[in-house]
């Protein structure tokens, strides 16, 4: 008995695992991308879970311990919204990522609201966000003192930035590094939403 693609009626080979031929699978994937749905591949998912490689994610997927993949596309791809919902339900996340994100939010709050001396609101925050620069601020009495910032692992923090959903954090969609944030773009609302996300 010959199997055929359900969309274009092309004969499927024995190596094709589903009901769609490979070109139809690609079309379906392209449609998902054009609807601006963010897609997570196996390597990104491994990072979110704190695993070392994509094969570990695939192994968990085969055992049925992960959320469903994109239907009709027989690749190891997931919709970010489904992955995020699943992570929230299961309480699963990368501890290093959460710790870096907490350090970033702490440093953003201190640099923005602890009267840090800066040149102006449109200037970039720079490496202060990673706790690598010495920062001075004014106290309630007007005295200038050193402010202690949390040291943050920069590569992990950059991965945390990459993992943020662009639709929920539109201010951060244009930046590739936390150090590119300007003082006037840092609001209490942004910090609270970052804390809630991580």
- Phi then psi for residue 143, to 5 deg, are -80, 140
Query: What does each C-alpha distance from 159 to 44, 49, 50, 154, 176 come to in angstroms?
Result: 10, 13, 12, 9, 10
At residue 117, the pLDDT reads: 56
At residue 64, the pLDDT reads: 84
Confidence band for 114, pLDDT divided at 50, 70 and 90:
low
Q: Which residues contact 53 (CB under 8 A, 6 or more apart)?
A: 43, 46
- Angle of helix 95-113 versus helix 188-197 axis, rounded to 10: 170
Q: pLDDT tens digits for 141-188?
A: 667 777 778 888 888 888 788 778 777 888 888 888 888 888 778 888
Share of the chain above pLDDT 90, in %: 1
Confidence band for 88, pLDDT divided at 50, 70 and 90:
confident
């Amino acid at each position: 008995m010959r199997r055929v693609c359900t969309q274009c009626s092309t004969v499927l080979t024995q190596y094709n695992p589903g009901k769609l031929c490979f070109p139809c699978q690609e079309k379906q994937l392209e449609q998902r991308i054009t609807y601006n749905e963010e897609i997570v591949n196996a390597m990104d998912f491994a990072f979110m879970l704190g695993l070392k490689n994509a094969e570990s994610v695939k192994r968990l997927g085969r055992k049925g311990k992960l959320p469903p993949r994109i239907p009709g596309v027989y690749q190891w791809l997931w919709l970010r919204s489904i992955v995020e919902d699943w992570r929230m339900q299961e309480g699963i996340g990368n501890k290093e990522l959460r710790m870096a994100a907490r350090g970033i939010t702490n440093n953003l709050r201190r640099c923005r609201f602890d009267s840090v001396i800066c040149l102006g609101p449109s200037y970039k925050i720079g490496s202060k966000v990673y706790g690598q620069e010495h920062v001075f601020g004014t106290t309630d009495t007007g005295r200038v003192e050193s402010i202690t910032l949390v040291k943050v692992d920069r590569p992990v923090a950059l991965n945390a930035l990459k993992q943020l959903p662009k639709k929920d954090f539109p201010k951060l969609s244009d930046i590739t590094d936390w150090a590119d944030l300007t003082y006037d773009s840092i609001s209490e609302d942004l910090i609270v939403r970052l804390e809630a996300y991580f």
